[in-house]
Amino acid sequence: TSNHLRHVESLATLPSGAGRISKLNAVILGESLASEEDDLVFPSGDFSRQAHVPSPQKYLDMYKMSIEDPAGFWSDIASQFYWKQRWGQPVYSENLDIRKGRIKIEWFKGGMTNICYNCLDRNIESGNGEKTALFWEGNEPGEDGNLTYNQLLQRVCQLANYLKHIGVKKGDAVVIYLPMLMELPIAMLACARIGAVHSVVFAGFSAESLAQRIMDCKPKVVITCNAVRRGSKIIYLKDIVDAALADSAQNGFAVDVCLTYENCSALEKVKTKWQEGRDTWWQDVVTKYPTTCDVEWVDAEDPLFLLYTSGSTGKPKGVLHTTGGYMVYTATTFKYAFDYKPSDIYWCTADCGWITGHSYVTYGPLLNAATVVVFEGAPNYPDSGRCWDIVDKYKVSIFYTAPTLVRSLMREGDEYVTRYSRKSLRILGSVGEPINPSAWRWFYNLVGDSRCPISDTWWQTETGGFMITPLPGAWPQKPGSATFPFFGVQPVIVDEKGVEIEGECSGYLCVKSSWPGAFRTLYGDHERYETTYFSAFPGYYFSGDGCSRDKDGYHWLTGRVDDVINVSGHRIGTAEVESALVSHPQCAEAAVVGVEHEVKGQGIYAFVTLVEGVPYSEDLRKSLVLTVRNQIGAFAAPDKIHWAPGLPKTRSGKIMRRILRKIASRQLDELGDTSTLADPSVVDQLIALADS
Ligand code: WT7
């Protein structure tokens, strides 16, 4: 038996305390306990009895099966989907060991299917045609809409027909730059229907970032909208797209078509700048196409989408996911981690511009014929009660969000929550970063009235779906722990040398052997895929995260161990922020580190040295921040600029980030050995300038 199987076996012996809530619930919110690990929060007996996985033993049985016979386990599940042609043998093939040659992962190869067909047509055939697929809630309360599965299919088909008409073919890339309108999942599904590869770019990214992605994947068409309201602000998205398209064209790649949805209809069309021959209004063309469209059957291993994400070095990486394994994996993780039942109403607050929106707004839920709430607005507009207003309005039963939102709402006071009933809630979810125990308790006790299990799902853009997650009702939870691996996932904790450590321990989180939802490559750069993820610890997929495992086998994620910062659950590479800063004509050098931030989890702290003779000033600070906003996006704007006449470097010129992190967090007594620096006096200089 594998190592972690033994860990989870201890679960079977845990008391199944029907209705028993551990002592920690009595603990005043936010008070820290001597040992978080010892606090168990039990699901009620009623909850467990109705759950898909009602006990640790049932989980263990299924988990064992999934590890001992992955091909059999996943084939059984895959058979529940529609395949035009069944996959061949073997069910999967993999090489995760760089020492044995090229890294390769394949699932259900030879099988012909279509994920859009499985999300829509299949569910309609089984009687869900009149079920609501999407509820849309606009930025302004009272502005809303909805589509049944039948209607969603019709909208998807019209767009798919239009895309085919303008020449988009199987394998072609389509860039989508849209806010959370129903047209966003519609556009994703339309691409999938015709075998096109979508690349959604989060509509908070700047023109430069968008241009970079466009130039990398070379789409035939970019889909956007004129403008979006977010809270009290209006953002003119089409202007951003225009700038990106101009940039890209100057660099030798011109997009044929820019399909523009007229959102904010109050804004007159004439205000939107237009390039004749390239720009087309969605409403003028798409609605003219037939509401049925034949499906393009694709191989399970044909690409479904590209999603760019930040790494520790260089330009963003195009994470590539394929069709069959991703379909099976997102559907299954959604079903079990949220204990999904057909009567549920599901709301995930993530934007489709991130992986969470791909797997758990669009594909996972729709594959389960779920009813999904899509929210365009901001969670604090018109006030901090908006989320619970929406929960009551749509009778949301599964609510999935990020710790940063929980923490920011927690600060606004309990009245915003208690004003609303929230009695429809059954399950809560958390994703994006470790959820601190005090936020966990507030979420659990207040939002969920101590009734709803919290699924703290650990996963990544690269993993496609949940990797370590509670299964609600199956076992007691520990606030702040993502608990145990999902079926088929074998997490291991290794030391610096890449040796697996057993028992209670902490180290680097890796995964041994593949799972169906794993990414298959980095677009156009398989070598970078191999070096980034499979070289640090040969034989394993390395996540980039640190993790510890307690005596009961529960997993505790401790954050990134590479040069990636997690700001409000958004992944930002320090190298990207640095390269934006040094592009400023007055910035000579920059070093960026993450610091603890009360709401965002981590904040961005930038040390900058200026070009010889340039004085540091408030105007310069602002202009440096603006440069980052313009090059990456507002969410990557540094929280702090620290002027540094010199940076701590080794004699070979390497910046010592360890020291910078300590200065940034003002842990000045933990600076460690500075004697190896080329010029140790820069450290004192930096400390002296810290709060100036
Ligand atoms: C990184 C992945 C996966 C969707 C959102 C972010 C951190 C994510 C958790 C969690 C602790 C988490 C990790 C991971 N992370 N979820 N439940 N507990 N850490 O996707 O942008 O690919 O970022 O987010 O550090 O490596 P992403």
What is the C-alpha separation between 586 and 599, in angstroms, rounded? 31
Within 10 Å of residue 194's Cβ, how many Cβ atoms?
Answer: 23
DSSP-derived letter for residue 127 is I
| pLDDT for residue 385 is more than 50 | yes
State residue 610's pLDDT score: 97
**Ligand 1 atom, smallest distance to 461 CA:** 22
**Ligand 1 atom, smallest distance to 564 CA:** 25
Report DSSP letters for 249-305, one per residue: HHTT---SEEEEE--STTS-GGGS---TTTEEEHHHHGGGS-S------EETTSEEE
Mutation pick for ligand 1 pocket among 557, 572, 635 (CB with most ligand atoms within 8 Å): 557
State residue 311's pLDDT score: 83
SS3 content of the chain, % helix, strand, coil (to 5): 35, 25, 40
Where does 62-123 show beta strands of DSSP type E? Answer: 92-95, 104-107, 112-113
For residue 654, give the 3-state DSSP assignment: coil
What is the C-alpha separation between 432 and 435, in angstroms, rounded? 9
| pLDDT for residue 25 is more than 50 | no
State residue 190's pLDDT score: 99
Handedness of CA 645, 647, 650, 655 (dihedral sign): negative
State residue 33's pLDDT score: 39
Residue 336 exposed, middle or buried by CB count within 10 Å (0-12, 13-18, 19+): buried
**Ligand 1 atom, smallest distance to 469 CA:** 17
State residue 692's pLDDT score: 73
Handedness of CA 362, 365, 369, 371 (dihedral sign): negative
The chain-wide mean pLDDT, for the chain, equals 93
Name beta bridge partners: 322: 303
For residue 676, give the 3-state DSSP assignment: coil
For residue 485, give the 3-state DSSP assignment: strand
Residue 351 beta carbon below 6 angstroms from any ligand 1 atom: no
**Ligand 1 atom, smallest distance to 430 CA:** 17
DSSP-derived letter for residue 685 is H
- ipTM entry: 0.99
**What angle is formed at CA 85 by the lines to CA 84 and CA 86, rounded to 5 degrees?**
125
Element (H, E) at 663: helix 657-664
| pLDDT for residue 557 is more than 90 | yes
Annotated active-site residue in 562, 619, 669, 684: 562
Q: Output the six-digit token pair for 552.
A: 């009961």
Q: What is the 3-state secondary structure (H, E, C) of 568-625?
A: CCEEEEHHHHHHHHHCCCCEEEEEEEEEEECCCEEEEEEEEEECCCCCCCHHHHHHHH
Give the residue among 52, 114, 83, 46 at the shortest CA–CA distance from 335. 52
Handedness of CA 229, 231, 234, 240 (dihedral sign): negative
DSSP-derived letter for residue 652 is T
Phi then psi for residue 649, to 5 deg, are -130, 150
State residue 313's pLDDT score: 77
Mutation pick for ligand 1 pocket among 566, 568, 570 (CB with most ligand atoms within 8 Å): 566
Residues 6 or more apart whose Cβ sits within 8 Å of residue 392: 420, 421, 422, 424
Residue 222 beta carbon below 6 angstroms from any ligand 1 atom: no
315 pLDDT band, cuts 50/70/90, is confident
Ligand 1: which residue has its CA nearest to atom 1?
Answer: 460
Per the model's pLDDT, the better-predicted residue between 230 and 193 turns out to be 193
Question: What residue type is 522 in one-letter code?
Answer: L
Predicted confidence (pLDDT) per residue in 401-421, tens digit: 999 999 999 999 999 999 999
Of the chain, the percentage scoring pLDDT greater than 90 comes to: 90
Residue 355 beta carbon below 6 angstroms from any ligand 1 atom: yes
What's the distance, CA 334 to chain centroid? 14
Residue 543 beta carbon below 6 angstroms from any ligand 1 atom: yes
State residue 20's pLDDT score: 32
What is the C-alpha separation between 130 and 124, in angstroms, rounded? 8
The answer to whether residue 562 is catalytic is yes
Residue 575 beta carbon below 6 angstroms from any ligand 1 atom: no
Phi then psi for residue 662, to 5 deg, are -70, -40
| pLDDT for residue 45 is more than 70 | yes
Buried b or exposed e, range 474-493, using 16+ CB within 10 angstroms = bbbbbbbbbbbbbbbbbbbb
Ligand 1: which residue has its CA nearest to atom 5?
Answer: 432
Element (H, E) at 172: none
Count of alpha carbons within 13 Å of 480, Cβ hemisphere only? 21
Residue 19 exposed, middle or buried by CB count within 10 Å (0-12, 13-18, 19+): exposed
Whole-Å CA distances, 484 to 471, 505, 510: 9, 15, 14
Residue 602 beta carbon below 6 angstroms from any ligand 1 atom: no
| First CA to last CA distance, the chain | 58
State residue 267's pLDDT score: 64
24 pLDDT band, cuts 50/70/90, is very low
Mean pLDDT of 213-222: 97
| pLDDT for residue 5 is more than 90 | no
Residue 114 exposed, middle or buried by CB count within 10 Å (0-12, 13-18, 19+): buried
DSSP-derived letter for residue 358 is I
Q: Output the six-digit token pair for 510.
A: 């890796």
Predicted confidence (pLDDT) per residue in 174-196, tens digit: 999 999 999 999 999 999 999 99
Predicted confidence (pLDDT) per residue in 258-281, tens digit: 999 999 766 666 589 999 999 999
pTM: 0.94
Give the residue among 69, 113, 61, 115 at the shortest CA–CA distance from 92. 69
**Ligand 1 atom, smallest distance to 570 CA:** 21
State residue 34's pLDDT score: 40
Ligand 1: which residue has its CA nearest to atom 10?
Answer: 458
645 pLDDT band, cuts 50/70/90, is very high
State residue 12's pLDDT score: 52
Mutation pick for ligand 1 pocket among 308, 355, 440, 460 (CB with most ligand atoms within 8 Å): 460
Predicted confidence (pLDDT) per residue in 581-606, tens digit: 999 999 999 999 999 999 999 999 99
**Ligand 1 atom, smallest distance to 543 CA:** 26
In the reported structure, the alpha carbon of residue 466 is separated from the centroid of ligand 1 by a whole-number distance in angstroms of: 10
Ligand 1: which residue has its CA nearest to atom 24?
Answer: 432
| pLDDT for residue 579 is more than 80 | yes
Predicted confidence (pLDDT) per residue in 433-458, tens digit: 999 999 999 999 999 999 999 999 99
Give the residue among 432, 426, 429, 451 at the shortest CA–CA distance from 440. 429
Residue 459 beta carbon below 6 angstroms from any ligand 1 atom: yes
Residue 384 beta carbon below 6 angstroms from any ligand 1 atom: no
